[in-house]
Amino acid sequence: MDEEQVIEHRQSASGLWLRQRRLRLALLIAFVESIVILFSEHGWWYVVGAAVLAVLAYWFIGRHRSGVIYEVTWVAAASQLLAVLVPVLWELVKIVALIVLVALAVFLLAALLLDRK
């Protein structure tokens, strides 16, 4: 049996459509933007600026409206915040890898210096 969707007060059909798919849309936008960030030479600071603007738009405009405006600002804020996480995690992984390589080099140097032959 098919379940009928109930449209809430002051919510259009497009608002309902966006509400049902907002997480998927945010993840798709964040994925595409993250791929572009990782393989571009422009850096990723513009994504931080876009995230700040998107969160401010959601906070000051989207939260006080209903329907499509709320959903669009939510998707924009969520996707931008997710897109910021990818380069930050990328940098953290590079730093951890560098620390592991330095520790390995120190260990191997100590092993070579302590080798009695």
- Residue-wise pLDDT for 47-72, tens only, equals 889 999 999 999 999 888 878 888 88
**93 in a structural domain:** no
Q: What kind and span of H or E run contains 54?
A: helix 45-60
Q: What is the mean pLDDT of residues 12-27?
A: 84
**101 in a structural domain:** no
Q: Is the pLDDT of residue 14 over 90?
A: no
Task: Provide the domain limits for residue 52.
Answer: 13-86
**25 in a structural domain:** yes
Q: What is the mean pLDDT of residues 6-11?
A: 58
**3 in a structural domain:** no
Least confident of 1-5, 24-28, 40-44, 47-51: 1-5
The Cα 111–Cα 18 span in angstroms is: 60
**55 in a structural domain:** yes
**105 in a structural domain:** no
**68 in a structural domain:** yes
- How many folded domains does the chain comprise? 1
The CA-based diameter of the chain, rounded to the nearest angstrom, is 84
Q: What is the mean pLDDT of residues 83-95?
A: 89
**34 in a structural domain:** yes
Q: Is the pLDDT of residue 74 over 80?
A: yes
DSSP structural state of residue 9 = T
